[in-house]
Amino acid sequence: MSEPSHDIETTAFETVAVHAAEPRPAHGGSVVHPLYQGTVFETVPGESYDELQYIRLNTNPSQVHLHRKLAALEGAEAAVATASGMAAITTTLLATLEAGDHVIAAGSFYGGTHHFLTEQAPRLGWKVDFVGPDDRDAWTEALRPQTKAFIVETISNPLARVADLAGIAAFSREHGLTSIIDNTFATPVVFRPHTVGFDLVCHSATKALNGHSDLVAGVVTGTEANIGKIRHVLNLYGGSLDPHAGFLLARGLKTLALRVRQQGATSLALARFLEGHQGIAQVNHPGLESHPDHARATDLFDGYGSVFSFRPAGGVEAAAALFKGVRIPYIAPSLGGVESLMTRPAATSHAGMSPEERAAEGIHDDLIRFSTGIEAAHDLIADFARALGD
């Protein structure tokens, strides 16, 4: 599995994104790593089952190249790509927990993750306690001898809350728990959770890591030992990422820093405009001084991400009118692409939750989530100004 490499001494994210894991000399002289679509490779004497080169085993040369690049971007020893973001989350939990184990879950979660923790976890014999993301007393009260893991999202979906991430990582280390974080909303451009002590970092690479709304993938990064366990479980469950999708993901990663920083700046400019508009009742963006976690986000992050949410004055009818009024954003779920997207989480990402569960999380029916693309900030602001009747 070894290949020639060319180490470039830099910590600049932009340079790492382009050159990490790229072999020198390049294959056949190509500056683009080739796509290996094949499933059959010659075996080497002494190889274990998990070392055989085979797509389902995540050892195809294209998969190995992608894994090395992903690990470099998160500052981890190792990484593995999965068939979706949910495959990354569920496989991580399956590799970490056994029947009878207990998980602490802090804050609110993406609807699919919440549904898995509330519906599927009990079927697997796991207990889950949801706790406040800043409530250390609640974390301690939730502890039991069977507690094995602590899971959180870097920036919550869709209210953009920022938990006490450093505190959660430290608490997990103190009590021997595996700390798991979903870093999708931040990306490693904004925050690298391993630097504050998280054991396992997950992403839906469908979103900003790829950035072009044309593939589905997931990522887990961590130590060689932890990723080895996750890859073994992934091999058995068959949730491997197809090399062609991985080839596209590796391509998208090279422009990650440029896209995320542009989107972040535009996102904050638009959020400031909306916060000051009489037609908007509430804006949830960690870059705003009014956000309850602004100070923490400023201390932890390099930027604030590109996804935020807001509520128009006038409820669901006003939200529907705004959807009809804007011209630039697509009215569609997902996030992190080069095009701006708007959606109502109550009808899309969190539709699997009951109305009572959504209300308890502050996800009201008129809440709009906005994923900022790479369009010019002044064009998006003008579009919203017109749609709001200015």
According to the model, what pLDDT value does residue 40 have?
82
According to the model, what pLDDT value does residue 3 have?
45
According to the model, what pLDDT value does residue 41 have?
87
Q: What rounded mean pLDDT belongs to the chain?
A: 94
User: In this model, does residue 257 exceed pLDDT 90?
Assistant: yes
Question: CA 11, CA 56: separation in Å to the nearest integer?
Answer: 33
According to the model, what pLDDT value does residue 348 have?
82
User: In this model, does residue 4 exceed pLDDT 60?
Assistant: no
Task: Report, as an integer, the average pLDDT of 356-371.
Answer: 90
Q: What is the pLDDT of residues 192-221, one digit of tens each?
A: 999 999 999 999 999 999 999 999 999 999
Q: What is the pLDDT of residues 228-242, one digit of tens each?
A: 999 999 999 999 999
Where residue 43 falls among pLDDT bands split at 50, 70, 90? confident
149, containing H or E segment: strand 147-153
Give first-to-last CA distance, the chain, whole Å.
Answer: 60
According to the model, what pLDDT value does residue 25 have?
81
Q: What's the whole-model pTM score?
A: 0.94
With CA atoms as reference, report the closest residue to 178 among 219, 131, 230, 132: 230
Catalytic residue (choose from 69, 110, 134, 383): 110
Residue pair 149/177 in contact by the 8 Å Cβ criterion? yes
Q: What is the pLDDT of residues 85-141, one digit of tens each?
A: 999 999 999 999 999 999 999 988 988 999 999 999 999 999 999 999 999 999 999
According to the model, what pLDDT value does residue 8 have?
66
Catalytic residue (choose from 192, 207, 259, 369): 207
Where residue 7 falls among pLDDT bands split at 50, 70, 90? low
Sheet with 127-131, edge to edge strand ranges:
78-82, 218-222, 200-204, 178-182, 147-153, 102-106, 127-131
56 is catalytic: yes
According to the model, what pLDDT value does residue 234 have?
97
Catalytic residue (choose from 182, 242, 366, 383): 182
Where residue 5 falls among pLDDT bands split at 50, 70, 90? very low
Q: What is the pLDDT of residues 293-325, one digit of tens each?
A: 999 999 999 999 999 999 999 999 999 999 999
**Tokens of residue 31, six digits:** 């500056």
127 is catalytic: no
All domains of the chain in start order, with CATH: 13-253 (3.40.640.10), 257-387 (3.90.1150.10)
Task: Report, as an integer, the average pLDDT of 134-160.
Answer: 97
182 is catalytic: yes
50 is catalytic: no
